[in-house]
């Protein structure tokens, strides 16, 4: 494959990812409303389009047509930059997540991942660390006490839970002996899913993912009853839509990362023993990855409408006094498994 062909294939992958993610985010908002309506015994969106399926597009047009208001005392440069940072971090993370094995297409061997790099996990951790800047800049640059409090809360919360998340991933890296998401998926052959081998790491990563995406019961950076709207109080129109889009995109990224690291990725246990046509096998594996991701997205939404928000002191106590020690315990557990069973 020539350099030009590689660039063209990579650009096609990027365009497909961006288009699919924008549509997925739009309809994830729709399904969140429908699921919340089901939980609360009401109907949800049912006016715009059949069963309300065009409601996401109506929401987009409404946000785009609203006036873009910038507070007089805001730092206009950072105020404008913040939502773009949040969006960049959210979408750039997709680059290293494999949704299926390599496939033969039009005479080319195409990897179903935008960038198969051997430091993919470090890339993801670096980007998630940058995500806090978008929220912090938004809070500080708005010139509002409510926004500033939301930004400060977010900084403390995301740093606290990133540590637990990093130590949870360390157990996965120890077992797979690789920082490549593709290699990590391949190391979970059969039922050797990391969620089974190291359940403590799975739980700590899952809880940390809720905190990192600012989802209930960890949505303290927004906390409408306490902070009006948190870090994005002074945002409107397209800029507010950017934060809204980034939050749901991060939720999809978190679900895909959980699937990749702990639920076998696109692996279907022993599917290679069935003697299926290679194309059908790849389609089934991609479908398995999407199904696992969809289940986790439903779980994210279900939890939001089932649990109350923690107080801020409870949030920090859980992060430092529960999650951090558990993530360290998981590393000891994985090390013991490797020493005793040679995994």
Say if CB 288 and CB 198 are below 8 A apart. Answer: no
What pLDDT digit, counting tens, does each position of 125-184 carry? Answer: 888 888 888 888 888 898 888 888 878 888 888 888 888 999 999 999 999 989 999 999
Token pair listed for 343: 């995994």
Q: Considering only 114-128, 212-226, 238-252, which range has the smallest mean pLDDT? A: 212-226
Tell me how far apart the alpha carbons of residues 74 and 247 are, in angstroms, rounded to a whole number: 23
| Mean of pLDDT values over 280-288 | 92
- What percentage of residues in the chain have a pLDDT greater than 90? 32
pLDDT for the residue numbered 152: 83
Q: By mean pLDDT, which of 24-33, 101-110, 264-273, 320-329 is the weakest?
A: 101-110
Report pLDDT for 205. Answer: 94
Q: Which of 118-122, 291-295, 305-309 has the lowest mean pLDDT?
A: 305-309
For residue 74, the model assigns a pLDDT of 86
d(CA 319, CA 97): 26
List, in sequence order, every beta strand (DSSP E) within 79-181: 103-105, 108-110
Residue bearing the bigger pLDDT, 261 or 110: 261
User: Beta-carbon neighbour count of residue 341 at 10 Å?
Assistant: 8
Residue 178, C-beta contacts closer than 8 angstroms, at least 6 positions apart = 118, 184, 187
> And the tokens for 143?
């010139």
Question: For position 297, what pLDDT does the model report?
Answer: 94
pLDDT tens by residue, 51-97? 888 998 898 888 888 888 888 888 889 988 999 998 888 888 888 99
The pLDDT, as a whole number, for residue 216 is 79
Name the token pair of 1: 């494959």
pLDDT at position 104 is: 79
Burial class (CB in 10 A: 0-12, 13-18, 19+), 171: buried
pLDDT value at residue 195 = 93
**What's the confidence (pLDDT) of residue 223?**
65
Q: What is the pLDDT of residue 114?
A: 84
Task: Print burial letters for 32-69: b (CB count within 10 Å at least 16), e (below 16).
Answer: bbbbebeeeeeebbeeeeeebeebbeebbeebeeeeee
% of the chain at pLDDT higher than 70: 97
- Give residue 262's pLDDT band: very low, low, confident or very high (50, 70, 90): very high
């Amino acid at each position: 494959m020539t350099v030009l062909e590689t660039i063209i294939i990579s650009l096609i992958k990027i365009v497909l990812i961006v288009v699919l993610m924008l549509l997925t985010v739009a309809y994830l908002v729709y399904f969140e409303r429908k699921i919340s309506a089901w939980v609360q015994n009401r109907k949800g969106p049912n006016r715009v389009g059949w069963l309300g399926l065009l409601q996401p597009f109506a929401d987009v047009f409404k946000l785009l047509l609203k006036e873009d208001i910038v507070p007089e005392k805001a730092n206009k440069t950072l105020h404008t930059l913040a939502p773009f940072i949040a969006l960049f971090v959210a979408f750039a993370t997709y680059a290293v997540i494999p949704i299926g094995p390599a496939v033969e297409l039009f005479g080319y061997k195409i990897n179903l991942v935008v960038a198969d790099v051997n430091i993919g996990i470090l890339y993801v951790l670096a980007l998630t660390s940058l995500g806090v800047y978008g929220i912090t800049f938004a809070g500080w640059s708005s010139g509002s006490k409510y926004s500033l409090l939301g930004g400060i809360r977010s900084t403390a919360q995301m740093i606290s839970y990133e540590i637990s998340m990093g130590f949870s991933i360390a157990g996965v890296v120890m077992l797979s002996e690789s920082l490549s998401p593709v290699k990590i998926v391949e190391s979970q052959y059969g039922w050797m899913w990391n969620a089974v081998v190291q359940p403590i790491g799975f739980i700590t990563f899952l809880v940390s993912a809720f905190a990192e995406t600012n989802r209930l019961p960890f949505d303290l950076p927004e906390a409408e009853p306490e902070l009006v709207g948190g870090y994005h109080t002074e945002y409107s129109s397209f800029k507010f839509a950017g934060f809204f889009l980034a939050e749901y995109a991060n939720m999809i990224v978190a679900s895909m990362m959980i699937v990749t690291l702990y639920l076998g990725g696109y692996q279907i246990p022993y599917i290679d023993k069935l003697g299926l046509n290679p194309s059908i096998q790849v389609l089934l594996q991609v479908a398995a990855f999407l199904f696992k991701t969809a289940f986790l997205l439903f779980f994210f939404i279900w939890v939001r409408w089932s649990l109350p928000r923690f107080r801020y002191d409870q949030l920090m106590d859980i992060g430092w006094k529960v999650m951090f020690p558990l993530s360290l315990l998981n590393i000891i557990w994985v090390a013991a498994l490797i020493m005793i069973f040679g995994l």
